[in-house]
Amino acid sequence: MSRIRFSLLQETLNRKPIKVIQKDKRSTLFGQNVFNKHAMQQYLTRSAYESVMNAIDLGTKIDRKIADQVAVSMKDWAISKGATHYTHWFQPLTGATAEKHDAFFESINGSLAMEKFDGEQLVQQEPDASSFPNGGIRNTFEARGYTAWDPTSPAFIYETTLCIPTIFVAYTGEALDNKTPLLRALQAIDTYATAVCKYFDKNANKVIATLGWEQEFFLIDDALILARPDLQLTGRTLLGSLPAKGQQLDDHYFGTIPARAMSFMQDLEQECMLLGIPVKTRHNEVAPNQFEVAPIFEEANLAVDHNSLLMDVMQKVSRRHKFKVLLHEKPFSGINGSGKHNNWSLSTSKGVNLLSPGKTPMKNLQFLTFFINTIKAVCDYEEILSASIATASNEYRLGANEAPSTIMSVFVGNQLSAVLDELENVTKGKLSPQEKTDLKLNIIGKIPEILLDNTDRNRTSPFAFTGNKFEFRAVGSLTNCAIPMTVLNTIVAKQLKEFKIEVDELIDKKGLKKDEAIFNILREYIKDSKTIRFEGDSYCDSWQKEAVKRGLSNFKTTPEALKEKISNKAISLFEKMDVMSKVELEARYEIDLESYAKKVLIEAGVLVDIARNQVVPTAIIYQNTLLENTKNLKEIFSDEYKNIAKEQLELIMIISNHITQINALVVKMETEKIKSEKYSGLKLAEHCSNKVKPFLIKIRHHCDQLEALVDDNLWPLTKYRELFFTK
């Protein structure tokens, strides 16, 4: 082992878990730093409180006078908790979160100092945001961007700063963030799901989308990262050969959490409690040093904010524990990558889960309505849903035989498949008002019992029904959940809108009874959406062939998938549902393409550096040792032994060959990199995908071969086995 690696490892091994002092009971800590209902009740006047609650529940506007009151109370509350600054906290199109802190402190006439924060500062800010990606929106229109308070997500204090969740929009109203379209999609699902809900409950007045994410990540000691420029700069390893022991024995999954990781988790959970992020589950994942945290599900907008916040808090807490959190979908080749399952459902304001079968046949008809409409929506918009999770980093994970395939499909389990088949075949003709409803009620009456034993779980499916919710598993660990959640809620809203029109038509024009009409439409949907249902192994090659036959999309590259974001179908969908305009969609598309290209080009640049400055020089040093050795042997044994130093010579040739190949490939990749400067937009992304990216794999191959040959004492980069097996 090289001296540098040895000393880094030693540093790692000498580390002790930080003792995390449990400040209080979890339930007492929960939400302490959140301006939640409880805090608002204490600090706001009754009318201000009611006004905020109405804004949350009914989407009503908060007038300026009330906003002033809320601001003053919020400030008093924050200062009482030690806050000194405030910020509008938003989620620009970088996928991360952004904040710019201002002190409450203000001086008047240069002398008198006071704490100031009023409605004006609460409601709207104009951050100097010219460096955030905007996809041309702010160039073509007015250059200014505004952040505006989102009262549906409560303000919170993090590290002495009051953070006010906001949306970020251009002067002309276009969304410049991930949250604005999400809020519009949630509005759409509320409108159309509530309308459908009224078939089953006349008093239904609101439907919310619920989201429970499961965040996977790797924890690596930060000392070991010092000798990995690739991990430092790109979040993933661009080279590294697999150790003999990886994850074959499955001995990490659900194993005892290592002490340092455990202390990190406890610390993280404590921070989460204070911030009102209801994390509940923690466990080891399949790959070495891979873990997962998951909260109790929440209303989708809040859950999205909480996930973005969590990713931030993780990085901050990890520094205290001398860890680096890797959120990249595929930090290591040859072992599992990380995802972020998005568990999604719909719930009434009374807390009734619409994707959970009830006790009566009518409740089950409600369940089937939302269940089948969701399947139909995914079937009709599979390509747009796929595009929502296509990124440069998730591309390395999807379809890698450990993560969902790149083909979208829905898994419902044997028993529900049988129910759908039975319902489909219950009648022959298209419309059947004469059919006895009893028969169908008999079928659906059985649903709760069969779901009790919903043990068949297909881990290979990208979109699976898991008893009382759908689990969108293809989402990447780095992805901002707002993006897939915007698409999913929009397509289901669109589907429910159509469903309502079709059912009403049968009732009004054909005189069908309500549940007959619902049955008939659902039956047609079952037929129409069969292509998306797949119960088998999505990792299997035969599924690829089958999917082609079914006409499902299978995007091999991210740019190919991204194109779907601006198809006529997508534009029409998002415009009709008032979620995104053509301008907004095109802006996002441009940003996605650019971000993809930049990521590939950065990886190429980093690999060139490592190959040239570290791998090749190391190989040459070892080669020289071999040459020296050969020369010496030949000198001593002269011509007596013909085969003297034969192995060394062979090794020298092999190493030579790898060095030659690396040098040649690096030059070729650099040429392609330079060529890329001519392009922009889709052309640039395609060039990076088709011409630059393949070299990453080729160069890596030779580097990894050298790693396996070269004297371990010389190798400069921390090896996979060291990254994985230090606790």
- In the complex, the smallest distance separating the C-beta of residue 74 from ligand ADP, rounded to whole angstroms, is 29
486 by Cβ neighbours in 10 Å (0-12 / 13-18 / 19+) ranks as buried
- In the complex, the smallest distance separating the C-beta of residue 665 from ligand ADP, rounded to whole angstroms, is 42
Q: Which is nearer to ligand ADP, 302 or 615 (CB)?
A: 302
E strand or H helix that includes residue 156:
strand 156-158
d(CA 261, CA 98): 28
| SS3 (DSSP) at 473 | coil
According to CB under 6 A, which one of 153, 210, 394, 458 is a site residue for ligand ADP? 210
d(CA 323, CA 187): 40
Q: Which is nearer to ligand ADP, 298 or 564 (CB)?
A: 298
d(CA 93, CA 132): 7
- In the complex, the smallest distance separating the C-beta of residue 283 from ligand ADP, rounded to whole angstroms, is 9
- In the complex, the smallest distance separating the C-beta of residue 215 from ligand ADP, rounded to whole angstroms, is 10
According to CB under 6 A, which one of 211, 317, 365, 521 is a site residue for ligand ADP? 211
Q: Which is nearer to Mg ion, 467 or 605 (CB)?
A: 467
- In the complex, the smallest distance separating the C-beta of residue 213 from ligand ADP, rounded to whole angstroms, is 6
Q: Quick check: 345 binds ligand ADP (CB under 6 A)? A: yes
- In the complex, the smallest distance separating the C-beta of residue 214 from ligand ADP, rounded to whole angstroms, is 6
Strands of 277-435, DSSP E: 279-284, 290-295, 298-299, 323-326, 340-348, 410-411
d(CA 642, CA 629): 16
Instruction: Please give the backbone phi and psi of residue 503, each rounded to the nearest 5 degrees, phi first.
Output: -65, -45
Q: Which is nearer to ligand ADP, 212 or 357 (CB)?
A: 212
Q: Quick check: 337 binds ligand ADP (CB under 6 A)? A: no
Closest C-alpha among 207, 570, 526 to residue 376: 526
Sign of CA dihedral 168, 208, 477, 673: negative
- In the complex, the smallest distance separating the C-beta of residue 353 from ligand ADP, rounded to whole angstroms, is 5
- In the complex, the smallest distance separating the C-beta of residue 347 from ligand ADP, rounded to whole angstroms, is 7
According to CB under 6 A, which one of 134, 194, 308, 343 is a site residue for ligand ADP? 343
The option from ligand ADP, Mg ion, none interacting with 296 (CB < 5 to 8 A, set by class) reads ligand ADP
Q: Which is nearer to ligand ADP, 280 or 510 (CB)?
A: 280
Residues between 341 and 370 with contacts to Mg ion, criterion CB under 5 A: 341
d(CA 531, CA 431): 22
Q: Which is nearer to ligand ADP, 210 or 718 (CB)?
A: 210
- In the complex, the smallest distance separating the C-beta of residue 294 from Mg ion, rounded to whole angstroms, is 8
- In the complex, the smallest distance separating the C-beta of residue 466 from Mg ion, rounded to whole angstroms, is 6
d(CA 334, CA 400): 9
> Which range, of 207-215, 230-238, 438-446, 572-580, touches ligand ADP by CB under 6 A?
207-215
> Which range, of 1-9, 341-349, 437-445, 658-666, touches ligand ADP by CB under 6 A?
341-349
The option from Mg ion, ligand ADP, none interacting with 345 (CB < 5 to 8 A, set by class) reads ligand ADP
- In the complex, the smallest distance separating the C-beta of residue 471 from Mg ion, rounded to whole angstroms, is 5
**Which one-letter DSSP state was computed for residue 395?**
G
* DSSP secondary structure letters along 443-466: HHHTHHHHHHT-----TT-SEEE-
The option from ligand ADP, Mg ion, none interacting with 353 (CB < 5 to 8 A, set by class) reads ligand ADP
Q: Which is nearer to Mg ion, 213 or 622 (CB)?
A: 213
How far lies 357's CA from each of 320, 418, 458, 469, in Å? 46, 16, 20, 11
- Give the total of residues touching ligand ADP (CB under 6 A): 15
Q: Which is nearer to ligand ADP, 493 or 580 (CB)?
A: 493
Residues between 258 and 297 with contacts to ligand ADP, criterion CB under 6 A: 294-297
* DSSP secondary structure letters along 518-587: HHHHHHHHHHHTGGGB--S-TTSHHHHHHHHHHT----SSHHHHHGGGGSHHHHHHHHHTTS--HHHHHH
Q: Quick check: 473 binds ligand ADP (CB under 6 A)? A: no
The mark string for 453-472 relative to ligand ADP (x by CB under 6 A, - otherwise) is -------------x-xx---
- Give the total of residues touching Mg ion (CB under 5 A): 1
Closest C-alpha among 702, 700, 663 to residue 234: 700
The option from Mg ion, ligand ADP, none interacting with 294 (CB < 5 to 8 A, set by class) reads ligand ADP
Answer whether 726's CB lies under 8 Å from 225's CB.
Answer: no
Q: Token pair 């190429």 is at which residue?
A: 604
- In the complex, the smallest distance separating the C-beta of residue 403 from Mg ion, rounded to whole angstroms, is 14
d(CA 33, CA 274): 5
β 410-411/463-465 pair status: parallel
The mark string for 378-417 relative to ligand ADP (x by CB under 6 A, - otherwise) is ----------------------------------------
Q: Which is nearer to ligand ADP, 78 or 482 (CB)?
A: 482
Answer whether 104's CB lies under 8 Å from 89's CB.
Answer: no
Residues 6+ apart with CB under 8 A from 260: 15, 16, 17, 18, 321, 323, 727
- In the complex, the smallest distance separating the C-beta of residue 341 from Mg ion, rounded to whole angstroms, is 5
Q: Which is nearer to Mg ion, 74 or 464 (CB)?
A: 464
3-state DSSP percent of the chain in helix, strand and coil, to 5 = 50, 15, 35
According to CB under 6 A, which one of 49, 86, 132, 344 is a site residue for ligand ADP? 344
- In the complex, the smallest distance separating the C-beta of residue 285 from Mg ion, rounded to whole angstroms, is 12
- Helix axis angle, 582-610 to 693-709, nearest 10°: 30
Residue number of the CB closest to Mg ion reads 341
Q: Which is nearer to ligand ADP, 344 or 720 (CB)?
A: 344
- In the complex, the smallest distance separating the C-beta of residue 296 from Mg ion, rounded to whole angstroms, is 13
Residues 6+ apart with CB under 8 A from 690: 557
According to CB under 6 A, which one of 214, 222, 271, 560 is a site residue for ligand ADP? 214
Q: Which is nearer to Mg ion, 469 or 702 (CB)?
A: 469
Q: Which is nearer to ligand ADP, 52 or 294 (CB)?
A: 294
Sign of CA dihedral 279, 283, 286, 289: positive
E strand or H helix that includes residue 51:
helix 46-58
d(CA 484, CA 192): 19
In the complex, the residues that contact Mg ion under the rule CB under 5 A are 341
In the complex, the residues that contact ligand ADP under the rule CB under 6 A are 210-212, 214, 294-297, 343-345, 353, 466, 468-469
